[in-house]
Amino acid sequence: MKLRGNTGKVQELPWRRRKTVPVMVGPLRVGGGAPVVVESMTKTDTRDAAATLKQVRALERAGCELVRIAVPDMAAARALGHVVQRSRIPVVADVHFDHRLALAALEEGVAGIRLNPGNIADRRKVEAVVRSAQEKRASIRVGVNAGSLSKTAAARFADNAVHEAMVESALEHVSILEKLDFRDVLISVKSSDVATTVRAYRTLSSAVRYPLHVGITEAGTLLRGSVVSAVGVAVLLSEGIGDAVRVSLAASPVKEVEVGFLILGALGLRETGPVVICCPTCGRCEIDVQRIAREVERRTRSLRTPLAIAVMGCGVNGPGEARQADVGIAGGKGEGLLFSRGRIVGKVREADMVETLLERVRLMAEEEAP
Ligand code: SF4
């Protein structure tokens, strides 16, 4: 496993991923050493296929690799076909309780379903779903949340062992699938509490080899949800646990994808395109670091070349940080020193800094293009 440092060089990661078996979700391989997948979920009314497809397009542009869509009723299940046929990324149907919705979603061509088979009382109905998933080569994700424990697990464990009850619930659902000889399984066990989630995944990870979808459920609004998700997911990934990530935010799903990639990028698990390193500014700052950094970040968002761009406010830490980046500026009075791959290559007026950095980034991206 490799990590890009701020110099653009790769180094060994201090953590290794745990071994899981690979499962295909459509053409996407999850687990088995494949890069950690970033997924999200649409927030439109699924019955409005045009609105859902528009959101899927926005997610594709943000780099989302797998999209889940809620299927609350038959009209929603029937609307999936329109999206599935046009989506460039695999679509997973999120189904609860009603096996007919799962069957309909599979008929519409989804790559996978999220379904807890133990919630369907009649085993013949579960069998029908599993047979259909097998025929269509679709995967099934068992997804247990702290709020959706199985009755037996909820009764067996005390309130302070929710993590164990989540794992037990998940294993109950999985064993139903295994008895039907279905192995294209992914699992998640999420709570809105970081410690509970981490405990649950640690236990689950030592019990199974199926790929694990990780995240903190109901994490909150944009800021809190991003922080809580980053903390929880980073603890798990630093222990090698996790094959797919969903950041659950009460915000645009595009933000979920952006935050997901930022977490993976910070851990060195995925290269995410240019990274803007900037100082927090202080009383010594001599240029408008925040404006310049924001502008450079905005205008490099669509690039995929992994580059480090430093925007630093003064000569204290500026030259050191700018020298380590691929391209950087160390601010001075109304101007700054421009660094490129560790060397000073000139002076730039503050008014020209954004365009100068962008031009350098463009050239470097061209050089590094395959
Ligand atoms: S680089 Fe300079 S301006 Fe920026 S935080 Fe450090 S001391 Fe302050």
Higher pLDDT, 131 or 368: 131
Q: Which of 276, 278, 281 should be mutated for ligand 1, with most atoms under 8 A from CB?
A: 281
Q: Which of 312, 337, 339 should be mutated for ligand 1, with most atoms under 8 A from CB?
A: 312
Is the pLDDT at 65 greater than 90? The verdict is yes
Contact, 1 vs 13, CB < 8 A? yes
Cα-to-centroid distance, 296 and ligand 1 (Å): 19
Cα-to-centroid distance, 278 and ligand 1 (Å): 9
Per-residue pLDDT of 284-309, as tens digits, reads 999 999 999 999 999 998 888 889 99
Summarize the confidence of residues 184-203 as an average pLDDT.
Answer: 96
Summarize the confidence of residues 33-52 as an average pLDDT.
Answer: 97
Q: Please tell me the distance from the alpha carbon of residue 232 to that of residue 226, in angstroms, as a whole number.
A: 10
Q: What is the DSSP string of 217-264?
A: TT--SHHHHHHHHHHHHHHHHHTT--SEEE---SS-HHHHHHHHHHHH
Pocket residues: Cβ below 6 A from ligand 1: 279-282, 284-285, 312-314, 316-318
340-352 in b/e form (b: 16+ CB < 10 A) is beeeeeeebebee
Q: Which residue CA neighbors atom 5 of ligand 1 most closely?
A: 281
Q: What is the pLDDT of residue 257?
A: 97
Summarize the confidence of residues 58-70 as an average pLDDT.
Answer: 97
Per-residue pLDDT of 73-93, as tens digits, reads 999 999 999 999 999 999 999
User: Which ligand 1 atom sits closest to the C-alpha of 279?
Assistant: 4
Select from 169, 173, 99, 165 the least CA-distant residue to 141. Answer: 173
Q: What is the pLDDT of residue 8?
A: 45
Phi then psi for residue 337, to 5 deg, are: -85, 135
Q: What is the pLDDT of residue 202?
A: 97
Q: Please tell me the distance from the alpha carbon of residue 167 to that of residue 153, in angstroms, as a whole number.
A: 9
Q: What is the pLDDT of residue 34?
A: 95
Is the pLDDT at 1 greater than 50? The verdict is no
Domain boundaries 275-368, CATH class: alpha beta
Q: What is the pLDDT of residue 253?
A: 98
Q: Which residue CA neighbors atom 6 of ligand 1 most closely?
A: 317
Q: What is the pLDDT of residue 4?
A: 42
Q: What is the pLDDT of residue 209?
A: 97
Q: Please tell me the distance from the alpha carbon of residue 344 to that of residue 194, in angstroms, as a whole number.
A: 45
Residues 6 or more apart from 51 whose CB is under 8 A from it?
44, 45
Per-residue pLDDT of 133-184, as tens digits, reads 999 999 999 999 988 888 888 788 777 788 989 999 999 999 999 999 999 9
The phi-psi region of residue 324 (left if phi > 0; otherwise alpha if psi is between -120 and 50; otherwise beta) is alpha
Least confident segment among 221-225, 243-247, 316-320: 316-320
Cα-to-centroid distance, 229 and ligand 1 (Å): 29
Cα-to-centroid distance, 136 and ligand 1 (Å): 57
Cα-to-centroid distance, 285 and ligand 1 (Å): 6
- Which overall architecture, per CATH, does domain 7-266 show? Alpha-Beta Barrel (3.20)
Q: What is the pLDDT of residue 11?
A: 55
Summarize the confidence of residues 238-264 as an average pLDDT.
Answer: 96
Domain boundaries, the chain: 7-266, 275-368
End-to-end CA distance of the chain: 21
Q: Which of 284, 287, 289, 333 should be mutated for ligand 1, with most atoms under 8 A from CB?
A: 284
Cα-to-centroid distance, 330 and ligand 1 (Å): 9
